[in-house]
Amino acid sequence: METKHIAFFNLLEALKENCPICFLLRKNIDKSMRDFLYERVNDSLLRQKLRRSLGFCNRHAWQLQKIGSSSGQAIIYQDLLELILGKIKIDSRKLVERKELCLFCKEENDTLEHYTQIFWRNFNEPEFISQYKKSFGVCFPHLTLLIKKNKNSKQIAELLSLEREKISELNRNLKEFIRKCDWRFSKEELGKEKDAWIKAIEKITGKEGIFL
């Protein structure tokens, strides 16, 4: 019997967290940011990469800011400010430009590619399909990406069939939520439809803070 890779079990577990790919991306970046701030700020090779990318993209810069380690971040930005000052002093007409992708954008892309492959590699596993049928499924942006990454029309058709069921159920719950928001039915107790509007946001756009 083939030993399943830990990434498969990560994906299986992540099915409990709504869109599993969004969840794994955010979890991985959060860990990478913490490792970076508390263990790698003074890594000389990494600092060179940060100079070439001029730090981080807007989204990841503010995400990192919320994690903490003000001293670590101060070291990074003081180094970048000196780089910019030096460039302005030499030639103010040619300011510093990003020569590399943001460190965390690159890692996010690599993680996304990895779990997309894991998803399709294990899609027909009974354990995976069983869990997927009970889950939220994937967000629409990641559904679109998954389809682009697979040439197996049978697998694509099966995934779309599963997602059609999930979206239809979410739509029914959303309609029921809207109905109960009407003053005529407002005394009716909310059931599983109570957070349908939040799930609809995630289904269409993905988890908050994930670039899609």
Asked if the model's pLDDT at residue 25 lies above 80, the reply is: yes
**Mean per-residue pLDDT, 107-130:** 94
Asked if the model's pLDDT at residue 14 lies above 70, the reply is: yes
> Percent of the chain, pLDDT > 70?
92
Asked if the model's pLDDT at residue 1 lies above 50, the reply is: no
Predicted pLDDT at 95: 67
**Alpha-carbon gap, residue 146 to 118, rounded angstroms:** 11
Asked if the model's pLDDT at residue 3 lies above 70, the reply is: no
Least confident of 38-47, 89-98, 112-121: 89-98
Predicted pLDDT at 188: 63
- For 165-210, the pLDDT digits (tens) are 999 999 998 988 888 777 776 776 766 777 888 899 999 999 887 7
Predicted pLDDT at 119: 96
3-state secondary structure the chain: CCCCCHHHHHHHHHHHHCCHHHHHHHHHHHHHHHHHHHHHCCCHHHHHHHHHHCCCCHHHHHHHHHHCCHHHHHHHHHHHHHHHHHHHHHCCCCCCCCCCCCHHHHHHHHHHHHHHHHHHHCCCCHHHHHHHHHCCCCCHHHHHHHHHCCCCHHHHHHHHHHHHHHHHHHHHHHHHHHHHHCCCCCCCCCCHHHHHHHHHHHHHHCCCCCCC
> What band does 22 get if pLDDT is binned at 50, 70 and 90?
very high
- For 133-149, the pLDDT digits (tens) are 999 999 999 999 999 99
- For 59-82, the pLDDT digits (tens) are 999 999 998 778 889 999 999 999
**Mean per-residue pLDDT, 45-69:** 90
Residue 48 near residue 100, CB atoms below 8 Å = no
In 3D, which of 62, 48, 52, 61 has the Cα closest to residue 97? Answer: 52
